[in-house]
Structure 1
Amino acid sequence: MPDLDHERQFNGPVIGIDEAGRGPWAGPVTVTAIWLCPTAYDELPADIDDSKKIKPPRRTSLAAVMMAPPHLHHTISIDVAQIDQNGILQATFAGMVIAASRLTEKLVKAGLSAPVHALVDGNLLPPDMPLPATALIKGDSRSLSIAAASIIAKTARDEIMQTLDALHPGYGWANNMGYGTKAHQAGIRQFGVTPYHRRSFKPIRRYLDAGDD
């Protein structure tokens, strides 16, 4: 289970950053940066964990708790156009930089100190990160702040995919969230590629090259 050991290594506000949606064939990549208020640590739910380990209804309720004061967060979704133009890694990095910058602004506006460090899930950091940062492999299972960010990002992106599913029924996005499931593949074969598909991803390019669009 994630804990606060990494956060407590620093003197000052520490933020956690994670993304949701790097692998799907469709939809945005969503990034959340969050600051968990130290005076409310003891009030945090005990089951905060890697979002993939938590069932959707519980994820939604946990996200609501962590999005409420005294905690602060910023969530941003990077759209398919930017993913296709810059690649999924650079799009994710851009989201991390923006989320960290906007959260810093929110902390300062609230009369708090700017964050002194960011804990980022994964093994890579954006080269233009606006503050010192540490990449933590499997960070959403090690750092409570990263786990919190993973839950909020996943919840926000799932809501986007459910909205897109209503606009483009037939791909199963409300269930598969844009991942390349059999239902999603069947939808592409039947209905073609939508503006929300990532044309830079090899599976989608194969469909386009085959003339299925």
Structure 2
Amino acid sequence: MTTLRKKRSSAPNLGVEKSFAVDGHRYIAGCDEVGRGALAGPVSVGIVVVDLAAATGLRGVRDSKLLQPGEREALVPRIRRWSVASAVGHATAAEIDAFGLMAALRAAGSRAWATVTEVVTPDAVILDGNHDWLSARSQGALFDTDGRTAPVESVGCTAPVHTRIKADLKCLSVAAASVLAKVERDALMVALAGDHPAFGWDGNKGYATEGHRSAIDAVGASEYHRKTWRLGTSAVPGMPRVESGG
């Protein structure tokens, strides 16, 4: 009985989201990304908007990394019905190579933002992590240090963004966003695996497994690989380190 109570209390809830009501906010968006540490495929950003005037809990939702594939897929239609608006945006490997990871994350988030704002404009956003890569930037901030110009999105997030470490474990809207992004990105990688069977994307989803790196050594990188990253088994000076997370 004690174990069950502990497990239930650890589930994400709407406590953080509802704290925004004291400032008069009603529509709160949770946002999370997946694919940041992959060698191949897009970075994908999920946004889920809840109506504080009507939202209740949603059983079974956890950070996507804590769920089995079948559990995540079963949650997608429930999350879509539960939320006021939801969307997933993507930025390609080519965009990551051309503009850098942070600009690509912002582009993917802006694409998701544009979709949800067709339904409702959130009053505030809870973003997983400690760095706000989502907020719309001025033209002058769209330049990397090496002079590259990041993609300028026609619609960017203009609502206040509140970063929160481990928000995907605590905030229900953020956990729901992580599930949508993970399911959609995984499906994209499985679809690509049919034409690129050597890389095992149906299993590794583009992440840096030993088998994936070895396959790149054997057959070379594909058009879906992040070519500015260290891809094979040998270290290359100056290549970015790859994160192991989602």
TM category (shorter chain) comes to 0.7 to 0.9
Distance 1:159 1:13 in 2: 29
Given that 2:214 and 2:233 are in contact with CA atoms closer than 8 Å, whether structure 1 keeps it comes out as: no
Q: Who is 1:151 aligned against?
A: 179
Unpaired runs of at least 5, structure 2: 1-10, 137-156, 238-246
Superposed counterparts of 1:22-101, under 5 Å: 22-38=36-52, 39-42=54-57, 44=58, 46-68=59-81, 71-101=84-114
Seen in structure 2, the aligned counterparts of structure 1 residues 64 and 58 have a Cα distance that, compared at 3 Å, is same
1:139-159 Cα shifts (integer Å, max 9, x gaps) = 100110000000000000000
- Where 1:125 maps in the other structure, the secondary structure is coil
Distance 2:12 2:236 in 1: 42
Relative to its length, the structure with more helix (as a share) is: 1
Superposed counterparts of 1:7-18, under 5 Å: 7-10=17-20, 11-18=25-32
Identity %: 33
Given that 2:26 and 2:51 are in contact with CA atoms closer than 8 Å, whether structure 1 keeps it comes out as: no
Superposed counterparts of 1:109-120, under 5 Å: 114-120=121-127
Number of equivalenced pairs: 201
Please provide the CA RMSD for this pair.
Answer: 2.1
Q: Who is 1:110 aligned against?
A: none
Distance 2:195 2:158 in 1: 37
Distance 2:89 2:228 in 1: 21
Unpaired runs of at least 5, structure 1: 108-113
Distance 2:123 2:96 in 1: 29
Q: Is 1:104 aligned with 2:117?
A: yes
Superposed counterparts of 1:170-181, under 5 Å: 170-181=198-209
Q: Who is 2:229 aligned against?
A: 201
Given that 1:30 and 1:76 are in contact with CA atoms closer than 8 Å, whether structure 2 keeps it comes out as: yes
TM-score normalized with structure 1 length? 0.87
1:54-104 Cα shifts (integer Å, max 9, x gaps) = 000000001221123653211111111111111112211222233223312
Q: Who is 2:130 aligned against?
A: 123
Distance 2:94 2:234 in 1: 18
Given that 1:19 and 1:30 are in contact with CA atoms closer than 8 Å, whether structure 2 keeps it comes out as: yes
